[in-house]
Amino acid sequence: MATTENGSGKPELAGKRALVTGGSRGIGAAVVRRLLDAGAEVLTTARTAADTVPEGAAFVAADVRTRAGAAAIAEAARETLGGVDVLVHNVGGARPYEGTSAIPDEVWQDSLDLNYLASVRLDSLLVPGMRKQGSGAIVHVSTAAVRTPGGPFLHYTAAKAALENYSRGLALELAPFGIRVNTVSPGRVTTPGGVRTREQWARMDPAQSQEAQSQDGGPVPLGRDGRPDDLAHTVLFLVSDRADWLTGSNLVVDGGEFPRA
What is the pTM (predicted TM-score) of this model?
0.90
As a whole number, mean pLDDT of residues 53-72 equals 96
Report which secondary-structure segment, H or E, holds 20: strand 17-20
**How crowded is the C-beta side of 185, counted as CA atoms within 13 Å?**
22
Q: Which residues of 21-50 are buried (b: 16+ CB within 10 A; e: fewer)?
A: bbbbbbbbbbbbbbbbbbbbbbbbbbeeee
Segment 169-219, tens digit of pLDDT: 999 999 999 999 999 999 989 876 656 655 554 555 555 544 445 444 457
Segment 112-137, tens digit of pLDDT: 999 999 999 999 999 999 999 999 99
Q: Which domains does the chain have, with CATH numbers?
A: 17-50+71-92+106-253 (3.40.50.720)
Q: How far apart are CA 88 and CA 64, in angstroms?
A: 13
Sheet of strand 136-141, all strands in order from the earlier edge strand to the far edge: 58-61, 41-46, 17-20, 86-89, 136-141, 179-186, 250-253
Query: Could you tell me which of 18, 31, 117 has the C-alpha nearest to residue 77?
Result: 18
Instruction: Specify the pairing of strand 86-89 against strand 17-20.
Output: parallel
Task: Give the confidence band of 95 by pLDDT, cuts at 50, 70, 90.
Answer: confident
Q: How far apart are CA 17 and CA 85, in angstroms?
A: 5
What residues are annotated to the active site?
156
